[in-house]
Structures are given as structure tokens and as C-alpha cells.
């Protein structure tokens, strides 16, 4: 089985693949100082909780935007899965033509999303990942990664309001109000964040479309996609676990002789 790990700044998403099919998805908090043993305990517990065998994991694929965590992940792969992990890094085979000033600056998560979406749809695409940061990617119909946009995410914005505006409370849970105009502070903040980011997303989609000659398909992904994307006009599909599929595809492209079971 293949274990795909998407290590983000706030959360780590784990996907378990068998025969190329995503069987299970788990989300845990990213700890910048966790050890290989601690992570192994968490993975083993999740596997046992959902009736999967920890010892049957024999392939590891990693997307990581938190460099301090990589050493623990490499050691985890060696000690517990007896394999060298595949890590998205500069120079790997993607199947895309990267039209970026410095491809080394391109985040692993952005590459995985682009690869998965183009592999599935084979058309011009705008991919929006609602994560810690919100990223927009434009892929041409010829499979050319043309660039994108990076925006602070909804959770960053909420924390900024709490830390920078002394009278505003901390939002513990994002709940979509039934209307835009609200009569209490928490709902007013939720409306501003959710509907505000929906409007921002709509505006950027339109600006991207004005700069290109194609009519792209628009895909939303990431942990906050179900919350925000449903309020955005112009989004065609929500693919919540696109990055995990991208990790599987990239693993297979770069390890063509490996049989994933």
C-alpha cells in the first residue's frame, strides 16, 4: 500500500492507497518537532482504528512545505516501512511543462495539485487550493504550468483579526451565517471571512480569465474548499483530496517499475 502525506503548515493530511484507489484519508495537526516514533504511533493507531494493516504499507510519497519535518519523515520511512520515501522536489518528472521563473520556488503542494488535475481532465484549468494559504494555478490546455497567485488563507486572516484588533474575539469554528449582514460580532466576522473570501475568489477567477485566451475549467480543493467554494460562482468541481491523488500519480511517474498493491 502507498501512504501519501501532505505536510502543511497547520495540518498533515494522510491518504492510504491500495491498487491505486484512495481507501482512507486522515487529518492530524502538523507538529514541527515530532519524531519518527511519534508519527509512527499515530499512523499505526489510525490504521488499526479503520481496520488497515500498518505493516502492509510499503511505499511512501511526501509533499512537504515544512522543511524541519523532513528528517523525521525520512527516518520514519526507513525504520518502520523499510523504504526510501518519494519526496516532491525539483527535477522530478511531472508530465507538465513548468513555465515559472524559478521552478525550485514552486511549492510541492502546488505541483501535486496541478499534476492531478491535468492528469484527470486534460484541459485548460484554474486550480484553487483553500489551505493555510489560498493558491491559484493556471494550467494551459497543452499541459503548461503558467503560474498563479498566492493569498493569505481564511485561518490566517481570522488569527490576524484576533491578534491585531484587541476587541475582536477568536473564532474557534468557522460557521457560515445564513446572511451577509449580521447582528453579532462572531457572525459578522464569519460572514466577512467566508463571503469575503468567496468574493475575492470570484474576482481573481475573472481577472485570470481576462488574461488568457482559453476557457478553463475551475477546480477547488483543500481543507476549506467545502466551506468557501460552495459560495463562489464559476467553480466547476470540488476535488477535496486532489493533492493526495497528485502524490500517487507523481510517485508512479517517478517509480514506473513499482507495483502498488
Query: Is 110 annotated for ligand binding?
Result: yes
| 52 known ligand binder | no
Among 33, 37, 101, 109, the one annotated catalytic? 109
Is 11 known as a binding-site position?
yes
Tell whether residue 233 is among the known ligand binding residues: no
Residue 109 appears among annotated catalytic residues: yes
Residue 236, marked binder: no
70 labelled binding-site residue: no
Find out whether 13 is annotated in a ligand binding site.
Answer: yes
Q: Is 108 annotated as a binding residue?
A: yes
Q: Find out whether 145 is annotated in a ligand binding site.
A: no
* CB-based contact 244:6 (threshold 8 Å): yes
6 annotated as a binding-site residue: yes
Residues annotated in a binding site for K(+): 129
Residues annotated in a binding site for ATP: 6-13, 132
Residues annotated in a binding site: 6-13, 100, 107-110, 129, 132, 185
Known catalytic residues are 109
Residues annotated in a binding site for substrate: 100, 107-110, 185
Amino acid at each position: 500500500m502507498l501512504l501519501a502525506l501532505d505536510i502543511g503548515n497547520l495540518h498533515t493530511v494522510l491518504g492510504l492507497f491500495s491498487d491505486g484507489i484512495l481507501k482512507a484519508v486522515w487529518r492530524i495537526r502538523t507538529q514541527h518537532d515530532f519524531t519518527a516514533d511519534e508519527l509512527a504511533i499515530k499512523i499505526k493507531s489510525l490504521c488499526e482504528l479503520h481496520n488497515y494493516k500498518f505493516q502492509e504499507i510499503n511505499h511512501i510519497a511526501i509533499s512537504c512545505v515544512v522543511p524541519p519535518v523532513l528528517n523525521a519523515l525520512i527516518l520514519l520511512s526507513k525504520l518502520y516501512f523499510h523504504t526510501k520515501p518519494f519526496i516532491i522536489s525539483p527535477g522530478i518528472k511531472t508530465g507538465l511543462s513548468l513555465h515559472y521563473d524559478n521552478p525550485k520556488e514552486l511549492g510541492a503542494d502546488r505541483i501535486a495539485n496541478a499534476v492531478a488535475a491535468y492528469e484527470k481532465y486534460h484541459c485548460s484549468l484554474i486550480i484553487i487550493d483553500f489551505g493555510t494559504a489560498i493558491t491559484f494555478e493556471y494550467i494551459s490546455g497543452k499541459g503548461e504550468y503558467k503560474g498563479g497567485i498566492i493569498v493569505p488563507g481564511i485561518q490566517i486572516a481570522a488569527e490576524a483579526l484576533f491578534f491585531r484588533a484587541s476587541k475582536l474575539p477568536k473564532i474557534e469554528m468557522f460557521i457560515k451565517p445564513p446572511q451577509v449582514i449580521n447582528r453579532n460580532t462572531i457572525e459578522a466576522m464569519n460572514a466577512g471571512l467566508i463571503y469575503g473570501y468567496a468574493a475575492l475568489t470570484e474576482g481573481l477567477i475573472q481577472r485570470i480569465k481576462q488574461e488568457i485566451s482559453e476557457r478553463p475549467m475551475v477546480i477547488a480543493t483543500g481543507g476549506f474548499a467545502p466551506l468557501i467554494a460552495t459560495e463562489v460562482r464559476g467553480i466547476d468541481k470540488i476535488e477535496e483530496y486532489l493533492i493526495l491523488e497528485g502524490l500517487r500519480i507523481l510517485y508512479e511517474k517517478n517509480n514506473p517499475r513499482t507495483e502498488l498493491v
